[in-house]
Amino acid sequence: MSEPILTINQVSKHFGHFQALDHLSFTVQRGDIFGLIGENGAGKTTLMRLITGLSPMQTGSITLLGEKAGHYQRALSRIGAVIESPAAFEKLTVLQNLRLCAIQHGIDDQQVMTETIDFVGLQEKQRTQARHLSLGQRQRLGLALAILPRPDFLILDEPINGLDPSGIMEFRQLLKRLNEERQTTMLISSHILSELYQVSTRFGIIHHGRMIKQLSKTELDQANQSGLSITVDQAPLAAQVLDHNGYKPFDVLDDHRLLLRKGDVDAARVNQLLVTNGVLVQDISHQTGSLEQFYMQLLGQTEKQEANHD
Query: Closer CB to ligand ATP, residue 54 or residue 275?
Result: 54
**If binding is defined by CB under 6 A, does position 89 make contact with ligand ATP?**
no
Binding mask 11-50 for ligand ATP (x = CB under 6 A): ----x--x-x-----------------x-xxxxxxx----
Enumerate the H helices of 189-261 as residue ranges: 193-199, 217-223, 235-244
- Give dist(CA 148, CA 112) in Å, integer: 7
**If binding is defined by CB under 6 A, does position 202 make contact with ligand ATP?**
no
Q: Give the CB-side neighbour count of residue 57, counting CA atoms within 13 A.
A: 19
Q: How far is the CB of 168 from ligand ATP (least distance, A)?
A: 17
Peptide bond into 56 cis (omega under 30): no
Judged by CB under 6 A, the chain residues 248 through 267 that form the site for ligand ATP are none
Q: How far is the CB of 79 from ligand ATP (least distance, A)?
A: 18
Judged by CB under 6 A, the chain residues 43 through 82 that form the site for ligand ATP are 43-46
The amino acid at residue 194 is S
- Give dist(CA 37, CA 304) in Å, integer: 19
The SS3 of residue 28 is: strand
**If binding is defined by CB under 6 A, does position 289 make contact with ligand ATP?**
no
The SS3 of residue 285 is: strand
Query: Closer CB to ligand ATP, residue 46 or residue 116?
Result: 46
**If binding is defined by CB under 6 A, does position 162 make contact with ligand ATP?**
no
- H/E stretch holding 136 reads helix 135-147
Q: How far is the CB of 38 from ligand ATP (least distance, A)?
A: 5
Q: What angle do CA 78, 161, 122 make, to 5 degrees?
A: 65
Q: How far is the CB of 41 from ligand ATP (least distance, A)?
A: 4
Interface ranges with ligand ATP (CB under 6 A)? 15, 18, 20, 38, 40-46
